[in-house]
């Protein structure tokens, strides 16, 4: 089966049953290979998990070899929301294909992402008809709180991790997201990593892994 998004797929070792899935969404200008680096440590502890790392559905204008989930060349909230909703539709199709191919339900799927990928994970994980297992977000924010509040259907458990020195997505957005999620009845855990800019350090990866292990097992 060919998926609607080109993806790096990391399956369990031969003979291991697929029981869970983690979908990893890269940031603006990145690709599936970038974000798949997280699996190098995680897969040892999640032997029955398949990891899927799709490329964004559009090339990124600032990095011709990379991809984006939505365009950021216009500083226009309405335009950004419109573009993100297009990406949401693509990703929901992708997730439906995964569920069909590997016979996995939402409750066995973790959505994770970095930066723009975190933003998409939050939107998809909270607007689905059924809760996902969890959302694990790094260095992101809520794209449009007013829109998400209107469309929210479920309260998927969420962890958000952010660097306190992030120069790309301000750590203030972590506090805003936490406030939004609490007010909208989502179980939320947050971590602020000291002296960390816009990347995923080992400390953040380990915190995320421990959270996933508690939720998936």
Q: Which helix (H) or strand (E) holds 210?
A: helix 202-216
Asked if pLDDT for residue 1 goes beyond 80, the answer is: no
The fold adopted by the segment(s) 7-216 is: Rossmann fold (3.40.50)
Three state DSSP letters for 115-138: CHHHHHHHHHHHHCCCCCCEEEEE
Which residue among the candidates 7, 36, 112, 115 is catalytic per the annotation?
Answer: 115
191 belongs to the catalytic site: no
Number of residues that this document lists for the chain: 217
162 belongs to the catalytic site: no
Question: Could you tell me whether strands 49-54 and 58-60 are parallel, antiparallel, or unpaired per DSSP bridges?
Answer: unpaired
- pTM reported for the whole predicted model: 0.97
- Calpha distance 62→54 (Å, rounded): 19
Going from N- to C-terminal start, the domains of the chain cover 7-216
Task: For residue range 114-172, list pLDDT tens digits in order.
Answer: 999 999 999 999 999 999 999 999 999 999 999 999 999 999 999 999 999 999 999 99
The residue among 46, 3, 54, 9 whose CA lies nearest residue 30 is 54
- Calpha distance 144→39 (Å, rounded): 30
User: In angstroms, how far is the first alpha carbon of the chain from the final one?
Assistant: 28
Helix (H, G, I), strand (E, B) or coil at 89: helix
Which residue among the candidates 6, 147, 155, 198 is catalytic per the annotation?
Answer: 198
Task: For residue range 183-205, list pLDDT tens digits in order.
Answer: 999 999 999 999 999 999 999 99
């Amino acid at each position: 089966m060919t998926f609607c998004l080109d993806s790096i797929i990391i399956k369990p070792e031969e003979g291991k049953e697929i029981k869970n899935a983690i979908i990893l969404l890269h940031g603006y200008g990145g690709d599936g290979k970038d974000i798949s680096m997280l699996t190098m440590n995680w897969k040892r502890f999640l032997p029955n998990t398949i990891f899927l790392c799709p490329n964004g559905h559009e090339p990124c204008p600032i990095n011709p070899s990379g991809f984006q989930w939505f365009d950021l060349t216009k500083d226009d909230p309405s335009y950004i929301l419109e573009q993100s909703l297009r990406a949401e539709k693509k990703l929901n199709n992708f997730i439906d294909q995964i569920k069909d191919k590997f016979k996995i339900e939402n409750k066995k799927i973790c959505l994770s992402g970095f930066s723009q990928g975190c933003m998409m994970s939050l939107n998809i994980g909270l607007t689905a008809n059924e809760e996902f297992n969890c959302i694990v977000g790094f260095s992101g924010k809520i794209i449009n709180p007013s829109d998400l509040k209107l469309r929210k259907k479920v309260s998927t458990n969420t962890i958000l991790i952010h660097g306190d020195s992030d120069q790309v997505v301000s750590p203030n957005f972590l506090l805003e997201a936490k406030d939004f999620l609490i007010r909208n009845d989502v179980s939320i855990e947050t971590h602020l990593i000291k002296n960390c800019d816009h990347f995923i350090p080992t400390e953040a990866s380990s915190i995320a892994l421990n959270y996933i292990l508690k939720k998936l097992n």
